Amino acid sequence: MPELPEVETVARGLRDATVGLRITAVRWLDPRLVKGAIPAEEVAARLAGQVVRGCDRRGKFLVWRFRSGDGLLLHLGMSGRLTVGMEPEAPWLPHTHLVVALANGREVRLRDPRRFGRVDFVPAGTAPFPRLGPDALSRHFTARYLAQAFSKRHAPVKSLLLDQRVVAGVGNIYADEALYRAGIHPLTPGGTLPEAAVRRLHRALRAVLRQAIRHRGTTFLTFEDAFGQAGSYAARLSVYGRSGLPCRRCGTPVATRVVGGRTAHYCPACQPGWEPDDAKTRGGPRDAAL
């Protein structure tokens, strides 16, 4: 699933390839991706003729901005791929749902095999993004903010990091990587983390996200950037996807546990302090749904 670094990589590609260009035609192949109030046919009509001003990102959402002030909200869901600079003659790959033709003769195409993605027209003057916490790389996301967001919360820190209302843009991969880097067990109730640990986690999160952007994201089955290229961060992952393999720091096999419905990967030696038996007696995992 694309997280902040992958979506940022796509946003940069979309901006570079389309800014200043006029949209000449829009074709829906699957209008079900439109989940807001404005229906797909109307979205197509209102997009035609727009001139691209840029592309903003918040968390895992993109807004393709136009000079009119209107925008197009995009969320890539689990498996969405946005490809720019396509020749119109290039065959449509399976699950191509939206094709936007530009004045330079190239196309932007959106594919989404699992259809968890979303495309919505955002008229000028309306708030473009759904209710989200601060973007993990914005100046509003500070260690002090994070400590406040965690205070009195009993849910495991891993679940809190995945909650887009707490911080926008973090998903399973980078939550696991940041917790490992900060030496924090994923089941630790957020509200029990000492201030120093929250500061460490805040620093670790921003560091892993920035590093992943430099490597154009992590490519598993479904992510490639807007130019169809794979990201290279996967080779640098410390725990995510490394279940049973030796910890890169201490050699202990990387363990997994289900936390709030998602699999957490961690090193039991480098991230001590909250093993399953404690959690059971102290109610940790049951609080995950709160």
Catalytic residue (one of 60, 106, 118, 242):
60
Do 86 and 60 meet the contact criterion of CB atoms below 8 Å apart? Answer: no
Catalytic residue (one of 3, 6, 8, 177):
3
Confirm whether 41 is a catalytic residue.
no
Bridge partners, residue 108, by sequence: 100
Q: Is 184 in the site for Zn ion (CB under 5 A)?
A: no
The helix or strand, by DSSP H or E, that contains position 259, with its residue range, turns out to be: strand 255-259
Binding segment (CB under 5 A) for Zn ion, from list 58-66, 111-119, 224-232, 251-259:
251-259
Buried b (16+ CB within 10 A) or exposed e, 219-241: beebbbbbeeeebebbeebbbbb
Catalytic residue (one of 130, 262, 268, 282):
262
Confirm whether 275 is a catalytic residue.
no
Do 162 and 260 meet the contact criterion of CB atoms below 8 Å apart? Answer: yes
Task: List the one residue from 129, 143, 269, 282 that touches Zn ion (CB under 5 A).
Answer: 269
In the chain, the N- to C-terminal Cα span, in Å, equals: 23
Q: Binding marks (x or -) toward Zn ion, 193..232, rule CB under 5 A?
A: ----------------------------------------
Q: How far is the CB of 236 from Zn ion (least distance, A)?
A: 16
Structure tokens at 263: 């699999």
Task: List the one residue from 26, 108, 166, 270 that touches Zn ion (CB under 5 A).
Answer: 270
Residues assigned a catalytic role: 2-3, 60, 262
